[in-house]
């Protein structure tokens, strides 16, 4: 039994190490930030299904302040609110700005956490919002492969964000997020995109 427990602990540690090794960033990786983001992104992933059951989702985003207090948590609402702009990140930014009564979030030193990499629109939206740090789970290439969503073109966005003082961490705990996206597609949910 003791040997089995030791094996399980060793295997768990390897998984954690392997997961952290895949994380990418535009700053020197700070493990405390990755650990905190992993916890939050896992919570958001666990919420994905409850949002899709209500007709929104599948993507979920949250904004936290620098002391770890939740400011807002929302899902994508493109289909149920009939608005192509209503991605989770855009909804989170709008909700935070309305809550704080400002168009500039920079003085609040806020962090955005999202279950998947921001698309072309959300990268622009984040740049305009004053969000200071961005953490995401599933990378765009994987989102496109699983769902057929078109995430758009984002040349060198990590580098461009760095120039503007915005920190990005990506590929954080993507596995559960990928599973949830598979489930969204397998359940026959809407892949919303303009007809070409």
Please confirm, yes or no, whether 43 is among the known catalytic residues: no
Q: How far is the CB of 122 from Zn ion (least distance, A)?
A: 3
Query: Among the candidate windows 18-26, 44-52, 85-93, 132-140, which touches Zn ion by CB under 5 A?
Result: 85-93
119 touches Zn ion by CB under 5 A? yes
CB-based contacts of 69, cutoff 8 Å, min separation 6? none
Q: How far is the CB of 17 from Zn ion (least distance, A)?
A: 31
Complete edge-to-edge strand list for the sheet that includes strand 167-170: 24-25, 167-170, 133-138, 111-116, 60-64, 70-75
d(CA 76, CA 91): 7
The partner residues of 75 in beta bridges, in order of sequence, read 60
E-only strand ranges, 31-157: 60-64, 70-75, 111-116, 133-138
Q: What are phi and psi of 119, to 5 degrees?
A: -80, -175
- Among residues 27, 81, 89, 117, which one is catalytic? 89
Q: How far is the CB of 121 from Zn ion (least distance, A)?
A: 5
Query: Among the candidate windows 19-27, 36-44, 67-75, 117-125, which touches Zn ion by CB under 5 A?
Result: 117-125
| Single residue of 33, 73, 87, 142 touching Zn ion by CB under 5 A | 87
Q: How far is the CB of 67 from Zn ion (least distance, A)?
A: 27
- Catalytic machinery residues: 89
Q: Which residues bind Zn ion (CB under 5 A)?
A: 87, 119, 121-122
């Amino acid at each position: 039994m003791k040997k089995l427990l030791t094996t399980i602990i060793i295997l768990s540690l390897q998984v954690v190490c392997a997961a952290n090794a895949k994380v990418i960033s535009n700053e020197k990786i700070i493990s405390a930030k990755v650990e905190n983001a992993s916890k939050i992104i896992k919570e958001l992933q666990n919420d994905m299904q409850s949002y899709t059951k209500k007709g929104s989702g599948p993507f979920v985003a949250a904004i936290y302040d620098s002391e770890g207090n939740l400011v807002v948590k929302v899902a994508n609402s493109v289909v149920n609110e009939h608005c192509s702009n209503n991605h989770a990140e855009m909804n989170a930014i709008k909700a935070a700005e309305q809550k704080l009564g400002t168009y500039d979030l920079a003085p609040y030193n806020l962090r955005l956490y999202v279950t998947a990499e921001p698309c072309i629109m959300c990268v622009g939206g984040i740049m305009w919002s004053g969000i200071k740090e961005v953490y995401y789970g599933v990378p765009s290439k994987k989102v496109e492969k699983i769902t057929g969503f078109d995430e758009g073109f984002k040349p060198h966005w990590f580098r461009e964000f760095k120039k503007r003082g915005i920190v990005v961490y990506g590929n954080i705990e993507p596995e559960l997020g990928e599973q949830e996206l598979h489930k969204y597609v397998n359940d026959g949910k809407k892949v919303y995109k303009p007809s070409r």
